[in-house]
Amino acid sequence: MRSERTRAATPCLGPYPVGVTAANTATGSTSLQHPSLPPSASPPSLPPPPPRTNSLLIAAADIKLSHSIFALPFALLGAFLSASAPTLAPIPNPSPQFPAYVPIDWSRFGGQLALVIACMVLARTWAMLVNRIADATFDAANPRTRGRAVASGKLPRPAAISMAFGCAAGFIALCAGFLAFFQNPWPLALSVPVLFWLALYSYAKRFTALCHVLLGSALAISPLAAAIAINPESLSNTPSLLALSAMVLCWVAGFDIIYALQDESFDRNAGLFSIPAALGAKRAVILSRVLHVGAIISLLMAWRLEDRFGMIFLCAVIAASICLIAEHIVLIRRGLAGLPMAFFTLNGVVSCVVGGAGVVDVLL
């Protein structure tokens, strides 16, 4: 009876159960073949993961390494300021113009500068990959961001996680280089807290509308971190570093508020926090303008506080102020359609002009 019930419960085509052929039974094989597939066909399989090289290229294109230009010039400026910071100790061969400032020791500073640049690239890559991983679900639901690598599946999540932690490990190793080669323990001691702070922004929209300020602070530590890596004592005797950091915070927070205007409705519907979602577009733009005024004031303070900043840096301050004003004029005239010029082009000019002019003034 049991065998008859079993046989009756098994759908049959001819004398054999579905997927079992005479050839199968003759050889003792009982592998099943779906009747809708031809005899030689095999069930569909998942596509293989992309090669590692392709994953790296996809990640690099998605996080836009070129956007390192926003923070890197300020890190370089912080490095140059700290490399020739003032000191009370006797200075051999002092500069006639700035006798209290230590001349740059290029035999030492060259290696330090290379480590600073490499650390900046790895730190930003870590932060951006964490952002793509943390926001993958939201990005996939947002029409503007659904094409991002992790959200779209072009970059597998495990690969993105591996790359992120690889960058973090590389960053820590490079920070250890300051201890090994230059007897400076501070970069290594602060490496993990810095990585945590950079990653925190990716989760900030879940609990505070001040996420834009948090992003600004993440970039604002770049001149301070570079100064600590080159000469930790410079933080106590180079107040222009703090003014530059304040400028970066206000500047980045201001343009990130503008950038978030694109997602005002999505953020509100998804329960995410942002200034545009909390205050509305009009008030958000006003707050962005206030922050950019604060950025200009901070730049002027840096110029006044730093003896080595002369007319070149002052011209850069004026140029940066014009760019920030132009940014808001573009938004008034073109709305969100002008965002690429306002966000990428003009802000890139601000960073390069201010950072470059400051370095030139320090070297002259």
In this predicted model, what pLDDT tens digit does every residue of 266-296 receive, in sequence order? 999 999 999 999 999 999 999 999 999 999 9
Position 10 scores a pLDDT of 41
Same domain? For 96 and 25 the reply is no
Decide if 45 is inside a domain: no
Residue 122 token pair: 């790895």
Position 334 scores a pLDDT of 82
Same domain? For 16 and 89 the reply is no
Decide if 183 is inside a domain: yes
Note down the domain range covering 13. 1-33
Decide if 75 is inside a domain: yes
Judged against a pLDDT cut of 80, whether residue 98 lies above it is answered with no
Place of tokens 């600004």: 216
Residue 353: is it exposed, middle or buried by C-beta count within 10 angstroms (0-12/13-18/19+)?
Answer: buried
Integer Cα distance of 122 and 119 in angstroms: 5
Number of domains in the chain: 2
Residue 101's pLDDT band, with cuts at 50, 70 and 90, is confident
Same domain? For 1 and 136 the reply is no
Same domain? For 210 and 271 the reply is yes
Integer Cα distance of 260 and 255 in angstroms: 9
Same domain? For 208 and 277 the reply is yes
Q: What is the DSSP letter of 13?
A: E
Same domain? For 76 and 21 the reply is no
Integer Cα distance of 140 and 9 in angstroms: 44
pLDDT digits (tens, 9 = 90+) for 154-205: 999 999 999 999 999 999 999 999 999 999 999 999 999 999 999 999 999 9
- Higher-confidence residue: 211 or 25? 211
CA distances from 278 to 137, 159, 210, 268, 283 (A): 22, 35, 10, 8, 9
Average of per-residue pLDDT across 104-130:
94
Position 60 scores a pLDDT of 77
- Radius of gyration, CA atoms only, the chain: 29
pLDDT digits (tens, 9 = 90+) for 258-267: 999 999 999 9
Decide if 316 is inside a domain: yes
Residue 104's pLDDT band, with cuts at 50, 70 and 90, is confident
Position 52 scores a pLDDT of 58
Buried b (16+ CB within 10 A) or exposed e, 221-241: bbbbbbbbbbbeebbeebebb
Integer Cα distance of 135 and 151 in angstroms: 8
Interior angle at CA 361, CA 295 and CA 227, nearest 5: 65
Q: E strand or H helix at 16, and its extent?
A: strand 16-17
Decide if 272 is inside a domain: yes
Average of per-residue pLDDT across 109-118:
95
Position 67 scores a pLDDT of 66
Position 30 scores a pLDDT of 42
Beta carbons of 341 and 59 less than 8 angstroms apart: no
pLDDT digits (tens, 9 = 90+) for 29-81: 444 444 444 444 444 444 455 555 687 888 878 777 666 778 899 999 999 99
pLDDT digits (tens, 9 = 90+) for 224-261: 999 999 999 999 889 999 999 999 999 999 999 999 99
Same domain? For 280 and 150 the reply is yes
Same domain? For 2 and 120 the reply is no
Position 291 scores a pLDDT of 97
Integer Cα distance of 34 and 44 in angstroms: 12
Q: What is the DSSP letter of 44?
A: -
Average of per-residue pLDDT across 295-300:
97
Integer Cα distance of 84 and 92 in angstroms: 13
* CA dihedral sign of residues 204, 210, 212, 218: negative
CATH number for 165: 1.10.357.140
| Average pLDDT of the chain, as a whole number | 83
Q: Kindly report the length of the chain.
A: 364
Give the residues across from 12 on adjacent strands.
Answer: 17
Decide if 283 is inside a domain: yes
Buried b (16+ CB within 10 A) or exposed e, 309-322: bbeebbebbeebbe
Same domain? For 72 and 23 the reply is no
Same domain? For 135 and 171 the reply is yes
Same domain? For 16 and 133 the reply is no
Integer Cα distance of 82 and 358 in angstroms: 12
Same domain? For 260 and 343 the reply is yes
